[in-house]
C-alpha cells in the first residue's frame, strides 16, 4: 500500500479488500467504498442491497459477495464488476413486499445474482474460482461466471458428532491447490480445489473451540475462544498467546515472518520469536503490515509508529 492516509469514512467499516485499482471498504450495513492507489476516496459509498454483507471476495475485476438479512430470512449471492461504479439499491422496506422468487430484488448493478435458500456461512476464493458453505446444504465451488464446478456434502467428523456445535463451519481457506473447511471443534477437511475430491480429514487438538482461521501459504493463525490465538504450522500448534479480544483482520508478512493483527482496541504482531501489542482507543478492523496504515471502526485511518509498540 503505497498511498497516504485516506480521508475518514462516512460509515462504520467492517473490512478492507485489495483490488486492481486500490482497495474496497465494506461497511457493517452493506456499504461499499472504493479507495484508489493514492488513498483517495472514489465517489460516494453505496449500498447495492439493503442488508449487511456477510462475506466478500475479489476475483480479478469482480467482487463476489453474500448478503444476509436474518430477520427477513433472505440471502443473496451476486457479482459486481469493479470496473463500474457502485450503484445504490432499494430500501429495506421493499424487501418485505417482494418475497416470491420471481419478484425477488437483487443487488443493484450486478453482473449475476442468485437467491440463496440457506444461510451462507463462509466464502473464500483464489484467482480462478470461489467456494462457499451453505448451512445444512454443503460446499459449492463456482467459477466467477457462477458456473458450478463441484459440490460436496456438509463437512462432518464422527468424533465431533456428539459435541454440541462442534461441526459448525467457522472458517474456510483456499489457494490455487486446496480448499479447506474448518469447524468449531477443530475439524479440518481439505479438498482438491479443481476436482472437489477430499484429500484429507482430521481433527486438531485444541483447548476450547475455534472461532476463525487466517492462512497464507503454509502459515496459519487460529483464533480460539477466550481471545487466545495460535500459530499453526506443519500440522501442529507452535505457540499460543492471548489478546484483548477477537481478531478482525490478520495478514502474514514475508519480510517480518509473522502476523500483523487488527484486533479489539489493539494492533498486534506475532511470530515464532516475538510478539508486540499497541493499544488503541477504538476497535481496529484493518492494518497494512507494510505501511502501518490502519483503519478503526469509527471510520478513521491512522498510521502506526513502530517505536510505539510495546
User: In sequence order, what are the beta bridge partners of 116?
Assistant: 75
Looking at residue 255, its pLDDT comes to 94
List of the chain residues with pLDDT < 70? 1-3, 98-102, 306-310
What pLDDT, on a 0 to 100 scale, did the predictor assign at position 297? 98
Per-domain residue ranges of the chain = 13-246
Give pLDDT, residue 2.
55
Q: Global pTM?
A: 0.94
What is the reported pLDDT for 307? 36
pLDDT for position 1: 47
Query: Quick one: CATH architecture of 13-246?
Result: 7 Propeller (2.130)
Q: What cell numbers appear for 165 in the block? A: 456445535
Amino acid at each position: 500500500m503505497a498511498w497516504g492516509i485516506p480521508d475518514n469514512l462516512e460509515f462504520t467499516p467492517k473490512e478492507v479488500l485489495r483490488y486492481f485499482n486500490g482497495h474496497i471498504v465494506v461497511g457493517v450495513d452493506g456499504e461499499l467504498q472504493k479507495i484508489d492507489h493514492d488513498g483517495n476516496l472514489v465517489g460516494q459509498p453505496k449500498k447495492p442491497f439493503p442488508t449487511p454483507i456477510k462475506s466478500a471476495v475479489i476475483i480479478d475485476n469482480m467482487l463476489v459477495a453474500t448478503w444476509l438479512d436474518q430477520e427477513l430470512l433472505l440471502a443473496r449471492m451476486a457479482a459486481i464488476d469493479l470496473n463500474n461504479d457502485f450503484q445504490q439499491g432499494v430500501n429495506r422496506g421493499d424487501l418485505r413486499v417482494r418475497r416470491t422468487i420471481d419478484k425477488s430484488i437483487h443487488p443493484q448493478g450486478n453482473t449475476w445474482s442468485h437467491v440463496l435458500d440457506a444461510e451462507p456461512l463462509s466464502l473464500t476464493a483464489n484467482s480462478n474460482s470461489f467456494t462457499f458453505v451453505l448451512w445444512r446444504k454443503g460446499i459449492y465451488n463456482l467459477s466467477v461466471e457462477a458456473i458450478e464446478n463441484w459440490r460436496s456434502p456438509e463437512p462432518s467428523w464422527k468424533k465431533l458428532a456428539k459435541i454440541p456445535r462442534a461441526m459448525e463451519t467457522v472458517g474456510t481457506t483456499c489457494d490455487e491447490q486446496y480448499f479447506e473447511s474448518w469447524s468449531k471443534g477443530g475439524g479440518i477437511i481439505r479438498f482438491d480445489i479443481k476436482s472437489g475430491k477430499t484429500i484429507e480429514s482430521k481433527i486438531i487438538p485444541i483447548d476450547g473451540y475455534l472461532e476463525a482461521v487466517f492462512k497464507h501459504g503454509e502459515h496459519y493463525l487460529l483464533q480460539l475462544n477466550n481471545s487466545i490465538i495460535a500459530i499453526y504450522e506443519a500440522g501442529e500448534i507452535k505457540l499460543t498467546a492471548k489478546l484483548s479480544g477477537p481478531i478482525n483482520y490478520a495478514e502474514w508478512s514475508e519480510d517480518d515472518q509473522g502476523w500483523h493483527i487488527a484486533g479489539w482496541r489493539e494492533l498486534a504482531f506475532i511470530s515464532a520469536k516475538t510478539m508486540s501489542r499497541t493499544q488503541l482507543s477504538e476497535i481496529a478492523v484493518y492494518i497494512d503490515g507494510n505501511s502501518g496504515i490502519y483503519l478503526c471502526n469509527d471510520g478513521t485511518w491512522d498510521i502506526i509508529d513502530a517505536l510505539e509498540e510495546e
